[in-house]
Amino acid sequence: MYETAASITWNNTIAGGAIFLLAGDNFYRIVAGHSTSTGVISPVTLLALWTIVAPFAFEGQFAMATLGVASEGPVWSNVVSGPIAAGLGASIAYAAGSDVRTGTPAETC
């Protein structure tokens, strides 16, 4: 049980750090006037989806064996924050794939 909790903690640290760095790079691109990178933000969505599933997949066992650990805060934190991060990442990746028009709209002057 303690090994599973330690694994979840390290997974959260590594996945969260990667999400932070990738999202920070994308934020810098936006602030610097560059377009959003789909290649950078797509792994954020995948890592967020992994964050949801990971607590239940450790130790080679799925859901039922780790439900004893599921009463702990970090597991439910993953279940709540994972979909939020995945939704934000997916929406940014979707927006990055569409053409964003710049300048003044036609016939408005």
Confidence band for 31, pLDDT divided at 50, 70 and 90: confident
Ranges of each domain in the chain = 2-97
pLDDT tens column, 49-63: 998 888 778 765 555
Candidates 96, 70, 51; CA nearest to 4 is 70
Q: How many CB atoms lie within 10 A of CB 82?
A: 20
Question: What is the predicted pLDDT for the residue at 98?
Answer: 63
Question: What is the predicted pLDDT for the residue at 102?
Answer: 56
Asked whether the beta carbons of 22 and 41 are under 8 A apart, the reply is yes
Question: 24-28, 36-40, 46-50, 66-70: which has the minimum mean pLDDT?
Answer: 66-70
User: Residue 38: exposed, middle, or buried by beta-carbon count in 10 A (0-12, 13-18, 19+)?
Assistant: middle
Q: pTM of the prediction?
A: 0.72
